[in-house]
A and B are shown apart, each in its own frame.
Chain A
Amino acid sequence: SQQGEEDPQALSIQEGENATMNCSYKTSINNLQWYRQNSGRGLVHLILIRSNEREKHSGRLRVTLDTSKKSSSLLITASRAADTASYFCATSSGTYKYIFGTGTRLKVLA
């Protein structure tokens, strides 16, 4: 069953703007991860946030986690055309497997 659901499904912004995408999940988690997928390629791990963390930064990425609302957000600041990709959240409940959401397709217009 699908654990994470990203929102919006698609997002189109101008270069330099910020992009925010959200992920909601259903069950308790140990950690939540965000991945990027360029068209036709494998996924690349961006950032991991643990259930006892509320915010995490990596370069132009900022991830928040609200376990009470079972949701997370990924903010990409000062977006670039190279950020055009699909973004997925994945959750782990302490087992060996991660469950992925359906993804947000981000298009950054130059």
Chain B
Amino acid sequence: SQTIHQWPATLVQPVGSPLSLECTVEGTSNPNLYWYRQAAGRGLQLLFYSVGIGQISSEVPQNLSASRPQDRQFILSSKKLLLSDSGFYLCAWPRGGNYGYTFGSGTRLTVV
């Protein structure tokens, strides 16, 4: 079956610390993958998307980066977190047809 996994579920990190969030998909190959961020009570902001290994498109300049080391793995990183990086991070995968996106369960990041 086709599933998407995202971890960790919650994370509290001090300002200036590094970040690594991981997203993996199962049951498909060569998926397009996306990272979104949602600020509290707000809509979703597209951060990065990837159409294949090593291919990353950045939507907004910021303190974050993304990598696609394997076909089904998408990683969101930061070398030094800022307070403004706090939010709810969601990985998404478009299944095509009438199915729209399938989202991971999200990571709640709080930078303190």
Contacts and interface: CB of A to CB of B under 8 A. Distances in A.
What band does the interface of chain A fall in when counting residues whose beta carbon is under 8 Å from B?
20 to 34
A103 B92 CA distance: 18
Contact of A40 (B43, B46, B49, B108): B108
A90 B101 contact: yes
A41 B34 contact: no
Given A43-B90, A43-B101, A48-B98, A96 B32 contact: yes
B51 A96 contact: yes
B36 A41 contact: no
A105 to B, nearest CB: 8
Interface string A74-97: 000000000000001010000011
Contacts of B51: 96
Given A90-B100, A103-B43, 10 more contacts: A40-B108, A41-B105, A42-B6, A42-B104, A88-B44, A96-B49, A96-B51, A96-B94, A101-B43, A102-B42
Q: Which 3 A-B pairs have the closest CB atoms?
A: A45-B100, A42-B103, A102-B43
